[in-house]
């Protein structure tokens, strides 16, 4: 296992700055995910850690030793790629053994590690198959087994599930997480899929335009976003204009006491599952709005309601809705926003905490 420190890492392509000054501290054995939209710099950061490209400035430190001056093949890193990257002319066993043979390990040890790795990814018995005879999910398992067989200090994974269908993605992400926990390999995982990141990560780093927006556990990222971008990118969030004045929060013409000394325009944010409709119980203080149901989307275990209110359009999510809750299009409803579920953001995009000084 290894800890990884990134200090002041920056990278540009010609006149385009892809990574600003990135600082990360990843603990030994941690499953750390880089999450963000296409072009945010997450893959560039991963490839720089791997040694496939070199940073303009900054340091990459593993277990207290700088590795950024080393070529990729000497960094002791396992890599799993988006496009499987298996050798089509080699059998499954030979694919997995490739890195072990490059390290000139004894034949018996190579065979033992190949067998162990294939069993771990549930491909034991497939030793002599060619990749063309395997499904996409099985080919990605070959890549995972090959990366783990060398027992790397770090395991890097670049959107490894993006080419698989939805069911296979869920199955393989659970296997990846189980294997990582069993082996305790420090893992840096890149994805643009929010649900995937929430499901597998110890911590998530949300990136945007070459910058780190927020680092935290999945719970912290989802429930306690510190930046507007993180709140909007991870999951669904309603945003409404509001105003803080003299300890009161004004939203859609309604006012409620709010424990903050900050003042001025704000954005009021709340998750759809926290929006309450008429007849739903609440034990907390709420902001009450009048709404009209414009659309109901029934998804089986839940329904989504698009509402027009004095504060703008809001989406509410109701779990296990009753029949009369589904037939609501065009109806007037009372909408309540629990104060304890609201997050406020400044115009700069930073969060405003309760009791925060202006």
Domain holding 178, by residue range, is 4-230
Examine the domain organization and report whether 240 and 295 are in the same domain. yes
84 or 127, which is more confident? 127
Q: Which residues pair with 88 in a beta bridge?
A: none
What's the CATH code of the domain at 80?
3.40.50.300
Give the H or E element holding residue 191.
Answer: strand 186-191
Indicate if the pLDDT at residue 352 is higher than 50. Answer: yes
Backbone φ, ψ for residue 27 (5° rounding) = -75, 155
Examine the domain organization and report whether 254 and 311 are in the same domain. yes
Distance CA 197, CA 205 (A): 10
DSSP assignment, residue 202?
A: S
Q: Which long-range contacts (CB under 8 A, 24 or more apart) does 102-106 make?
A: 102/73, 103/150
Within a domain: 357: no
Residue whose token pair is 């990135």: 22
3-state DSSP assignment of residue 277: strand
What's the mean pLDDT in 123-141? 92
What's the pLDDT band for 212 if we cut at 50, 70, 90?
Answer: very high
What's the mean pLDDT in 150-174? 92
Angle at 193 between CA 269 and CA 344, to 5 degrees: 10
What's the CATH code of the domain at 323?
2.40.50.100
Examine the domain organization and report whether 274 and 187 are in the same domain. no
Mean pLDDT (the chain, rounded):
92
What's the pLDDT band for 215 if we cut at 50, 70, 90?
Answer: very high
Write down the pLDDT at residue 280.
Answer: 66
The DSSP result for 239-254, as a single string, is EEEEEEETTEEEETTE
Contact between 258 and 339 under an 8 Å Cβ cutoff? The reply is: yes
Residue whose token pair is 């954005």: 267
* Count of domains forming the chain: 2
The count of other CB atoms within 10 Å of the CB of residue 50 is: 18
Within a domain: 358: no
Lowest pLDDT segment from 47-61, 79-93, 183-197: 79-93
- Tell me what percent of the residues of the chain surpass a pLDDT of 70: 97
- Domain endpoint, select from 199, 230, 261: 230
Examine the domain organization and report whether 198 and 240 are in the same domain. no
Within a domain: 39: yes
User: Residue 249: which of 119, 342, 143, 124 has the closest Cα?
Assistant: 342
Contact between 145 and 93 under an 8 Å Cβ cutoff? The reply is: no
What would the pLDDT profile of 84-106 be if each residue is shown by its tens digit? 889 999 999 999 999 999 889 99
Examine the domain organization and report whether 201 and 333 are in the same domain. no
- Domain endpoint, select from 200, 230, 260: 230
Write down the pLDDT at residue 121.
Answer: 93
């Amino acid at each position: 296992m290894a800890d990884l420190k990134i200090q002041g890492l920056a990278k540009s392509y010609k006149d385009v700055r892809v990574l600003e000054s990135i600082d990360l501290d990843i603990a030994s054995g941690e499953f750390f995910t880089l999450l963000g939209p296409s072009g945010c710099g997450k893959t560039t950061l991963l490839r720089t850690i791997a040694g496939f490209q070199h940073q303009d400035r900054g340091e990459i430190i593993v277990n207290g030793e700088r590795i950024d001056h080393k070529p990729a093949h000497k960094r002791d890193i396992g890599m799993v790629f988006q496009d499987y990257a298996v050798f089509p002319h080699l059998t499954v066993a030979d694919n997995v053994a490739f890195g072990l043979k490059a390290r000139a390990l004894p034949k018996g040890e190579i065979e033992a590690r190949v067998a162990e790795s294939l069993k771990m990814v549930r491909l034991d018995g497939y030793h002599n198959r060619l990749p063309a005879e395997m499904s996409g999910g099985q080919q990605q398992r070959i890549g995972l087994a090959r990366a783990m067989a060398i027992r790397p200090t770090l395991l890097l994974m670049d959107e490894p599930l993006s080419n698989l269908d939805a069911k296979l993605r869920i199955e393989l992400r659970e296997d990846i997480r189980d294997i990582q926990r069993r082996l305790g390999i420090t893992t840096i995982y890149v994805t643009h899929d929010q649900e995937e990141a929430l499901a597998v990560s110890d911590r998530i780093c949300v990136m945007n335009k070459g910058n780190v927006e927020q680092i935290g556990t999945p719970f912290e990222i989802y429930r306690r976003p510190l930046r507007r971008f993180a709140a909007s990118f991870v999951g669904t969030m309603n945003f409404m204009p509001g105003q803080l004045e003299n300890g009161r929060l004004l939203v859609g013409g309604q006012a409620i006491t709010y424990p903050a000394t900050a003042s001025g325009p704000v954005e009021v944010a709340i998750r759809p599952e926290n929006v309450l409709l008429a007849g739903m119980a609440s034990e907390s203080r709420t902001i009450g709005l009048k709404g009209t149901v414009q659309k109901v989307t029934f998804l089986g275990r839940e329904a989504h309601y698009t509402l027009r209110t004095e504060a703008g359009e809001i989406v509410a999510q109701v779990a296990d809705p009753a029949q009369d809750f589904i037939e609501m299009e065009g109806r007037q409803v009372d909408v309540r926003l629990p104060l304890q579920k609201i997050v406020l953001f400044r115009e700069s995009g930073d969060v405003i905490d309760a009791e925060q000084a202006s």
